[in-house]
Amino acid sequence: MKVSVLMPVYNAEAYLAQAIDSIISQTFTEWELILVNDGSTDKSEEIILSYSDSRIRYSKNSENKGIIYTRNLMIEMSLGEYIAFLDSDDISLPTRLEQQITFLDNNPDYALCGTWSIMSDKDGRKIRKINMPSSNEDIKCSLLFINTFVQSSIMIRKEILIQHSYNKNFPVAEDYELWCRLSRLYKLKNLPIHLTQYRWHGDNISQSKKTLMDNLVKDIYRRELNYIGINPTNEELLLHAAIKDKTIVDISTEEYLKALKLWLIKLANHADENKAYNRDIFISTLVFRWIFACKEWQTPIKALSLPISLNIKQYRILFKMLRQRI
């Protein structure tokens, strides 16, 4: 078996058939689709059992066990050389598996590859394109700030996933934590092609889950900063986290951007001592994050102040990144 597609299912009746059909419609046909029902109370099981394709394998938990338990169970069940993920409300475009398998077959030094994605609303209407960092060096640098992969676009070598499994201490942000660990050991790739459709339901998570997510993501940030030799203060860690989510800080725009600029300059200066990243790409990544922080805080006029402070000469790299991601 070449590839196992893993699809955890929990109360997914509204979109489940579309997700399953998107795998059946793949141009690459040597696959198995593993569905595990994690205690659904809707018609998810009825929908799954309506399919007679022998490549579809179905199991169910006795009760709701959670995403990490369910994913680990599916990994144990899988027979494929590669493992692909697809959430039960997302869609794989027809050539997704074929193109990812071709890449991994031809590039044995890469552990995994994701793809660019199309974000849609709950009714399937396109919202925007998600153009994540593509090259290995760009991904490594960007992981210090964001999760650079869409989960439903991932295809990974099974032997590597078994060796470096999901961390049970991360009930949320478990994928981000895993990609950071893998980035230290292997090459990672995002194919710069839109091969998945990711369904966005809005930021309607509970406050308790958001707090847990924020805390665990900060743990990841601290660990990644420690890895490159920086031990951030709590204030610096909060500044760093606010690059992605400004709602976690209660501070004026002027104060925040002043402090953030100093923090990014500190990271830039550290790049001369640290060999974990390609320096040119790391500096360009810092400027990229600064520009979008200025945009988020609605002060675009300040966007050029950091490049000027750093005396950056690598504008060609930066502009290439901007063209890809905007």
Mean pLDDT of the chain: 90
Q: Please state whether the predicted TM-score (pTM) of the whole model is above 0.85.
A: yes
Q: Which amino acid is at 231?
A: N
Tokens of 10: 């929990």
Higher pLDDT, residue 94 or 229:
94
What's the pLDDT tens digit per position in 257-306? 889 989 998 998 887 777 789 888 998 899 888 888 888 777 654 555 55
Angle 244-313-264 (CA atoms, 0-180°, nearest 5)? 30
Residue 29 has pLDDT above 80, yes or no: yes
Mean pLDDT for 122-133 is 92
Phi, psi values for residue 195, rounded to 5°: -115, 0
The per-residue pLDDT for 323 is 47
Distances from the Cα of 164 to the Cαs of 42, 87, 108, 175, 192, in angstroms? 34, 21, 17, 12, 26
CA nearest to 268, candidates 290, 245, 253: 290
In contact, 133 and 150? CB cutoff 8 Å: no
> Which band of pLDDT confidence, cut at 50, 70 and 90, is reported for residue 234?
very high
pLDDT over 70 for what percent of the chain?
90
Place of tokens 């945009």: 295
pLDDT over 90 for what percent of the chain?
70
Mean pLDDT for 8-29 is 98
Domains of the chain in sequence order: 3-199 (3.90.550.10), 207-325 (no CATH)
